[in-house]
Amino acid sequence: MRHRSLLLLTTVLTTGALTLTACGSRSDDGKKSGDDGSSGTGSNITLTIGVDAPLTGQNSATGLGLQYGTQIAVDDANSKKLVPGVTFKVKALDDKALPATGQQNATALVQDSNVIATVGPLNSGVAESMQQVFATANMVEISPANTNPDLTQGKDWASGKKVRPFKTYFRTATTDANQGGFAADYAYNTLKKKNVFVVDDKQAYGAGLAAIFKGKFASLGGKIAGTDHVNTGDTDYSALVTKIKQSHADMLYYGGQYDESELITKQLKAGGVNIPLMGGDGMYSDTYIKTAGKAATGDLATSVGVPVSTLPAAQNFIKAYKAKGYPGDYGTYGGYSYDAATAIINAVKTVMDANGGKLPAMNDARAKLVDAVQKTDFDGIAGHVSFDQYGDTTNKQLTVYQVKNGAWTAVKSGVYSG
């Protein structure tokens, strides 16, 4: 019931938000048409893969990685003719990291009869608002970045009652249940931190990650020096810094995105509190270091997977990304976006092969694609790609990065095992 009224609301809001979306997608239009020209040779059908991510404003550095990671996968598929008779193209929509905008975009994508499936979004909070729209339309959505466990395992996952809410939702990134635990383990056992102050941004991703970290860190025997929440978009953290200083914490853990944490770490160090700030994949971005400058030195972030640059299979991808001069960070989710798009492309082939080499009618094709994606099994550029019964990736690799000499440096990779 709640979802239906949400949908209604969306339809009403879409009209009003048309102007905004038009502004947001400004930068993709030029790029897209250029890419089309080089690939539009086939005489057969064209299928669109949707992308939803923040392409402007907050989080856009990592968000653009989703768009162009998908774009390279599509270019590769077209030039290698992975699916004979099908030319793929990308339709990228900007959600500005806003759940409401994401939901409008989801509605727009399912209404576009050329869109077969979607890669995205970046933010877990945005994903929450989109899942129902895609499920109603039977359209596959693969996020290369969402890490909140609720999305695949339901609200009560922590108590062991795991229920998959939407069979159309998949992800190539592992969850915060693993990431938060991995971070707590590293902070307590490797860094020997005993007294951590925990802050989050009250969003689905940040609050979830911070809670998991806190629970794990406490169960390891560590002390929580204090907790606080901030608002996304805040700029002044001086009062918070004073609180942290008073708590004598030896580390600050932040659940949220780089937009806030880069300001927090700057003001923390400027306030004379020289403790590292640790966060999740949401702040694993070059923009964080660029903006925070020297203050970022020694800060830590966990991220899903292993560093893309160390993966032999990803070298061509990195080369292509750099050669095309695409903006944004491919480092965090670019590889996973490539693999997510490739999983969709492979599934299209599976569906067509089972139908005598032809694509079924779009509604049917979308529905059949859900089953085909569920059975995905191939080696992607960021590791093996397959999904468990919840739609989660079976690749549970994680890495801790630390800022050294102005760059994220991998300090530990591994699989978190509880």
Binding mask 289-308 for another protein (x = CB under 8 A): -xx-x-x-------------
Strand partners, 52: 93
Q: CB of residue 233 vs another protein: minimum separation in angstroms?
A: 6
Rounded Cα distance, 243 and 337, in Å: 39
Choosing from 89, 91, 193, 266, the residue that interacts with another protein (CB under 8 A) is 266
Rounded Cα distance, 351 and 365, in Å: 7
Choosing from 5, 231, 274, 405, the residue that interacts with another protein (CB under 8 A) is 231
In the chain, the amino acid numbered 294 is: K
Smaller CB separation from another protein, 150 or 329: 329
Q: CB of residue 310 vs another protein: minimum separation in angstroms?
A: 27
* Runs of H (alpha helix) within 271-329: 286-292, 315-324
Nearest to 184 by CA among 280, 41, 45: 280
Residues 6+ positions from 1 with CB-CB distance below 8 Å: none
Smaller CB separation from another protein, 163 or 270: 270
262 binds another protein (CB under 8 A): yes
Residues 6+ positions from 215 with CB-CB distance below 8 Å: 180
Using the rule CB under 8 A, give the single segment among 38-46, 161-169, 249-257, 283-291 that binds another protein.
283-291
In the chain, the amino acid numbered 137 is: A
Smaller CB separation from another protein, 206 or 391: 206
228 binds another protein (CB under 8 A): yes
Q: CB of residue 178 vs another protein: minimum separation in angstroms?
A: 26
Count of all residues that appear for the chain in the document = 418
234 binds another protein (CB under 8 A): yes
Q: Which of residues 191-210 bind another protein (CB under 8 A)?
A: 202
Beta pairing, strands 115-119 & 86-94: unpaired
Nearest to 292 by CA among 256, 328, 268, 327: 268
Residues of this chain that bind another protein (CB under 8 A): 23, 26, 56-57, 60-61, 202, 227-231, 233-240, 242-243, 245-246, 259, 262-263, 266-267, 269-272, 287, 290-291, 293, 295
